[in-house]
Amino acid sequence: MTSQGGLVRLLGSAEFARAYTVAVLTAVFSAFTIERAAAPVTLATVIAALCALGACILWVRREELSLLRIAPSSLLAFLAWALVSLVWTTDKSDTAFGWMALFGFAFLAITVGHIRDTLQTVRALGDSLRILLLLSLGLEILSGVLLDMPFTFLSIQGDLAVGGPVQGIFGSRNMLGFVTVIALITFVVEWRSQSLTARIAIPSIALGALLAFLSSSPTVLVLAAAVGVVAVALAIVRHTPAERRTVVQWVLGVLVAMALTAAFALRHAIIALLDAGSDFSIRATLWNTILDFVALKPIEGWGWFGPWARGEYPFTYINFLLDDHHQSALNAYFDVLLQLGTAGLVLFLLLGGVATVRSWLVASVRRSVVYAWTPLMLVTLAVDSMFESFTLAGAGWFMLVLCALRAGQSRSWRESIDAAHTGTIPTLRSSGP
């Protein structure tokens, strides 16, 4: 009984929760390297083991949890629809494995979201990404400068000596660019929230910026611009007196709509400015082909697979028609539309959209800068989803679920139900952290 009690205390301790969170974040963001250095089975084993450990932690902490608030309803609906697609999918085994991967990363995000608060999550993510970015830079130096040979098993091309592009341990330059933007947001929030000294924060930001530049990813510029605009808008709202805040929110909403309209009208000039014409042309051709297949199953889609499975219809046929070897739709929204139809796309948009609105409203009234992390991260995920499908698997999906859960913990209809049972009134003060 004594050893059992000690194990329970260990699983319920804050120190173990921090160690578990860092382990999860490191495993999630280094999933590509684990899979390539070992095997897909090794990655699946690591994720399954972390899920089992997370289930034990949640069980030990069950008195702290509310069943109503364990996960956003939009997330549960999306997962349920992906599981239901087993009925009509072209390959039931691949869909089952794809859904288990989707659920596994989501479960890890739910566990982390319940055992750590926002600031603790930001600090853990910052620690993990500092290690992974340093490892990426070290491997790029080793491959491109010291040995002058590519590390093909990690998809590192060894082009650092000629200025890039570099891939780090993340598999592609676009994924590296995506991770560096996440890292830069996290490092800045750590610094501004005074949880990190300038002695560590400034080199961390410099490291992230250097790898973002060396990635030569055109999406980095778009993501940086989007995050910058949103950060300025959020700062304006946060410093606006409460009585005028609603008006400012509506004005910003109109300006965003106008900016999106102008960006669409000037899309060709913007693409030329980013020197991404050929890249966008490839994507446009792919999306048009995908729409032809969507028209055959517009409501339910072809079944959930996640990353495109080799040898499965319609993915192989799409690649055959395009004489290419795409592993995704290069757009999360088109990917969901192809695999889960319009019903799945609506659920996916609800998951991200509701979370963004909730987190924005919280960040606009909370004084601590750490509350800005969630909406900035969700904007990053939403914008990147227009160019890649990272948000549907691995680290991107994990971050989406984590941010959706974090947003729902502060503003949710479940809060009122819990308040009715406990007799407390949930409040959202504009002062205090």
pLDDT in tens, 84-101: 999 998 888 889 999 999
Q: 22 in a domain, yes or no?
A: yes
Rounded to 10 deg, the angle between the 332-365 and 73-84 helix axes is: 170
Structural domains of the chain, count: 1
Q: 82 in a domain, yes or no?
A: no
213-259 pLDDT per residue, tens: 998 888 888 888 888 888 888 888 877 777 777 777 777 777 777 77
Q: 176 in a domain, yes or no?
A: yes
383-422 pLDDT per residue, tens: 999 888 899 999 999 999 999 999 877 654 444 444 444 4
Q: 2 in a domain, yes or no?
A: no
Query: Is the pLDDT score of 428 beyond 50?
Result: no
Q: 285 in a domain, yes or no?
A: no
142-190 pLDDT per residue, tens: 988 888 888 888 888 888 888 778 888 998 889 999 999 999 999 999 9
Query: Is the pLDDT score of 362 beyond 50?
Result: yes
Rounded to 10 deg, the angle between the 394-410 and 92-115 helix axes is: 50
C-alpha to C-alpha distances, 261 to 149, 266, 267, 393, nearest whole angstrom: 46, 9, 10, 30
Q: Which residue segment(s) compose the domain that 193 sits in?
A: 7-65+116-216
Phi, psi of 260 (to 5 degrees): -65, -40
Q: 395 in a domain, yes or no?
A: no
Q: What is the pTM of this model?
A: 0.88
CB neighbours of 34 closer than 8 A, spacing ≥ 6? Answer: 27, 42, 43, 46
Q: Where are the alpha helices (DSSP H) in 66-117?
A: 73-84, 92-115
Q: 127 in a domain, yes or no?
A: yes
Q: 307 in a domain, yes or no?
A: no
